[in-house]
Amino acid sequence: AADLAVAAALVSAARGAPLPADAAYFGEVGLLGEVRPVGAADARLREAAGHGFKRAFLPRTEGLQRRDGLELIEIETVDELAERVAG
């Protein structure tokens, strides 16, 4: 579940650009850079909102909508993550 957060940290370090402090990241990263869903997405979103996060980067999935004040940023690949977090 922490794969996407680690990938975001690596992108941040490689580009010298800080990650947004108000964002949470969760998802599994495959060997080809695809971002895959993890279990308990609803619970993870509730926890992130409860800890004050405003945005959540997560795998593109059906049925998830903005909730608990979180902006959901759905992505499919690590390349897309890199574009979104480090411009």
Each domain of the chain, given as residue ranges in start order, spans 3-86
Bridge partners of 13? none
Higher per-residue pLDDT: 87 or 44: 44
40-84 residue pLDDT tens: 988 899 999 999 999 999 998 866 766 778 999 999 999 999 998
Specify the pLDDT at position 24. Answer: 96
User: What average pLDDT does this structure show over 13-28?
Assistant: 93
Determine contact, residues 68/49, Cβ cutoff 8 Å.
yes
CATH, range 3-86: 3.30.230.10
Residue identified by tokens 């998802």 is 27
Q: Who contacts 68 (Cβ-Cβ below 8 Å, separation ≥6)?
A: 45, 46, 49, 50
Reduced to 3 states (helix: H, G, I; strand: E, B; else coil), residue 85 is helix
Specify the pLDDT at position 11. Answer: 93
Alpha-carbon Rg for the chain in angstroms: 12
